Each structure stands twice: as structure tokens, then as C-alpha cells.
Structure 1
């Protein structure tokens, strides 16, 4: 059904003999769609007879790389997530956290925000904000005995090291997801930046 709809669009726009690539996520369903489209059209219509027709989505590739990296620090992230959840669980706790931050002279107006576990960029934003208030978590532990999910210093350090590298992935993913400009000309330089950044710290 999906293939039929795509083919109708190709014929209506008269681009069925002008196709070069089709960008899709890397999953078995999309693999089947590409195979069916290649079977519907003459192989001579495609560059290199269709061997390069299925292009994997750059944002999806980055997502898989990041998810693999985040699994290494899963326990550290879970502990920080618990702390963020604790201090944003109610308006009263949020207010107490804000007041304590003002007392400590922290000028940031960013609010703690819990992430969506299946959305790594929200995890990055959660960590980035949590690091601003890192010292506050330690100080509030002394004033709030019920707060028992404080991450250890080692977990903070591990999460910070990985998060510092997540920024380049976050920026690249936002660029790849753009809708008002061409993205095909920016993926290679960005992947090179990621590769170089990884080499600098022995990640790749």
C-alpha cells in the first residue's frame, strides 16, 4: 500500500525516471519498501542500477551511535534522573530548590526538567541543566534527609565527560533535522567533526 502510494506520487510528478536516492530509517519495513520500488521501475532509471538508492537517515544513524554510548553510563544517568525527578516532583520542592539556588548565587534561570528515556536529546538537555546545579544537589542533601538519590562524585564525573561529547551530536542532529534548507551538503563535514572529536578522547 505504501509502495503504491509512492509510485503514484512519482508518476504524477513525472520523476519516476529521475530518482537518485530515497532517504529512510534503517529498518526492515523500509528495506522492503525500497526493494519493491526497485522492482517496479527499470534498473536503468537509477544511478549504479539502484545500488545507492536506499540512503540511511543521518539523524537516525547518530541516534543509534548516541544510544550505544549512553548505555555505558546508564547507571549514572539513572541516578541524576532520580535527583531531577525528586526536586521537580511538586511545586513545593521546586520552590525550595529555586530558593536554595538563589541563596547560593546561581544566576541561571533554567528549570530542572525530566527527560524522556526514549529521546536522547531530552536526556542531554536534562543533564546539561543538572550540571549547572550540581553543587546544589550536594548541599540540599545536607538539608533534606529524605533526599536519598544523590549521585556520587564519580557518577557526576562520568556523566559530565560523556555529556560534553553529546553536545556535538545534539548540534548535528538539529542541523540534519532542518526543514528550511538543504541538509545533504552538511552531513559529511559534521560526521568528520564527530570523528575528530572522538579521536581526541580515544572514543573511536
Structure 2
């Protein structure tokens, strides 16, 4: 099994065990060790994978949900909490599907009388920031979608930002391929969908720079090794500030159009602080480096005095 782990960790081919150098090395290290066939090594790797998967499954509570109805999701989550003996629940993070709103309300009704319910579950629901960012970016992709599809036809990589960032390094290689390979265009079922032309690459270059800030924000929101609640407000401020600059500036009209569409989607989810769980502001207010004064400063940038005072009082009360 140690050999199987080595094959997996070092990403070696199964046939590595039949390489002469490895066989000679093992003969010196331990002559009594019978080097297994590559088929046996493959089976050991699969066995190790199944063992680790089962071990992980015991830690992470994945469950099959019969359908996407809100109450069904709520019942399954409630059952998981019961099985794991989890009584103290502060917040639950879900994406922005309407069924999840129903699921959260179901959980609030069914579990609010538990001894461990914190603050009566008033702040139970938190929308997934990474999912909201994805929705915002997808709206901005509309005008560039044709150019992006053409690049994807060549690269075939699902992560849009990373795909575009990597593809830009090989523009010359793609152009050379088209010149030297007479069968290049046959790779595309519809010639109009690819390969990317000069304007496509220019669009992609422009968009990649713009998309980078959303990609970095998503990484920070999605981190799992440390708490991210305290970075939320700072990312919110930064993104709104940059979108406002692009919307009001005299720069590239394509970027401006993208920014305006993103801003509409941004305002739908984050434009009203009433839609945001106030605990995300409290995390900044209790930070000794910022406190409530910093939160109020940005409220003033976004709202009139009456609204700013109302929201500041709301965060203070929490």
C-alpha cells in the first residue's frame, strides 16, 4: 500500500513498477520484496482510493436529496443535524435558488425552539457570496461570450478565467497551428464558432484583466482553512468601487457595458443592505482595526443620511 501511495502522490504511471531502474533499486533496498505487477498496483491504488473515500464520507455528511423542493431540502438538513447531534446552529450558507429560501424557513420553524438555537435563528440565512459573484460575472460575459466560446473550442478547459489567462500565453502557437495544420479547421463542427481571430483575442485580453478581480475575490470567499466572514465587507466595498469607476468612466465601451450589466446584477443581490445578513457587517464592526465607524463610512458613500443612520443603528443593535 505504501507503493500505491507513492504512485498516487508522485503521479507515476502504473507501469513504473516494471522500469528496470526501480526493480534494481528495490533489489538493493529489500531483496525479499517481490515487486508487484502494474495490474496489482492499479488494484491497490483503487483499493486505497475507496478506503480514503469511505473515511472522508464518515467526516462529511453527504446525503441524497430526493428532489429540489425547499421543504425536502430542509427535512434532509434537519435529519443530518440530528444524526450528528448538532444543536448549536448560528448560520447556514446556501446559494441563491428560491428553494433554498424555503428550506431555510423550514429549518427556522422546525428548530428554533432548540436549546442551542442562537439568537432565535434571526440571522440563520447567509447567501453564498461566491455564487453571487458567479451570477454577476455571467451577466458580464454576454457580449464576450462568442469570443470566449472560440477560445474554449481550442483550449477545452472549464474554468473561464484560468482558461483565458492560460490561453493568452499561447496566441502565437494557435496562429501557427492554423497556418501549418491544413486540417485545423476540421476540428470545428461549425467554422463560425472557431478558431479565435484577432478581435476575439483582444476581447479576451481585455476581459481577463477585468475578470481577475472577481476571480481573486471568489478565492478569498471560498477559502476553507480560515474564517472568511471578516473579509466579506472589504471585498464588497472593493468590487462596488471598481464597478462604479468603470460604469462612470470614459474607458473602453465594451468594458463599460460589461460593468453596467454587472452593476445591475450586483445591485439586485447586494445593492440593498436589507438583503444582506447584518452579521457580515458585525464581523467588521467588532474588528479593532475598523469598528462601526468604518462600516458607517461606506454606508454614507452608498445611502442618504437617514438610511445610513438606520443601518448603523441596526448593526449596533445586533
Task: Please give the TM-score of this superposition, normalised by the length of structure 2.
Answer: 0.46
Task: Give 1:5's aligned residue.
Answer: 79
- Asked if the contact 1:138–1:150 (Cα under 8 Å) also holds between the matched residues in 2, the reply is no
1:180 equivalent in alignment to 2:225: yes
The structural deviation recorded for 1:187 is 1.4
Alpha-carbon distance in structure 2 between the residues aligned to 1:164 and 1:194: 14
Q: Which runs of 4+ in 1 moved over 3 A?
A: 49-52
Would the alpha carbon gap of residues 200 and 146 (structure 1) be closer, same or farther in structure 2, given more than 3 Å must change? Answer: farther
1:1-204 correspondence to structure 2 within 5 Å: 1-8=75-82, 12-15=85-88, 19-40=89-110, 41-42=112-113, 47=119, 50=121, 52-84=123-155, 114-116=156-158, 122-148=159-185, 149-202=194-247, 203=259, 204=263
Q: Is the 8 A contact 1:3 1:36 kept in 2?
A: no
**Conserved? CA contact 2:81–2:87, under 8 Å:** no
**1:197, 1:135 → 2: CA distance?**
32
For residue 127 of structure 1, report the CA deviation from its aligned partner.
0.8
Query: Over residues 154-191 of structure 1, what are the superposed CA-to-partner deviations in whole Å (9 max), with x where a residue is unaligned?
Result: 11111221111111111111111111100111111112
The SS at the match of 1:55 is strand
Distance in structure 2 (CA, Å) of the matches to 1:158 and 1:197:
19
Bigger Rg, which one: 2
- Secondary structure of 2:104 counterpart: helix
Contact 1:2–1:33 (Cα < 8 Å) also in 2: no
Inter-CA distance 125–7: structure 2 relative to 1 (3 Å threshold):
closer
Residues 192 and 199 from structure 1, CA distance in 2 versus in 1: closer, same or farther, beyond 3 angstroms?
same
SS in 1 for 2:149: helix
User: Matches of 1:13 and 1:141 in 2, distance apart?
Assistant: 59
Residues 4 and 52 of structure 1, relative CA distance in 2, 3 Å threshold: closer
Return the structure number with greater helix share: 2
Note the C-alpha offset of 1:192. 1.9
3-state DSSP of counterpart to 1:72: coil
With 68-77 and 49-58 compared, the bigger mean Cα shift is at 49-58
Contact 2:94 2:128 in 1 (8 A): yes
Kindly tell me the number of residue pairs found equivalent between the two proteins: 165
SS in 2 for 1:23: strand
TM-score (norm 1): 0.70
Distance in 1 (CA, whole Å) between partners of 2:83 and 2:126 is 19
| Greater relative CO (CA pairs within 8 A, separation 6+) | 1
Gaps (5+ residues) in structure 1? 85-113, 117-121
Unaligned runs of 5+ residues in structure 2 are 1-74, 186-193, 248-258, 264-318
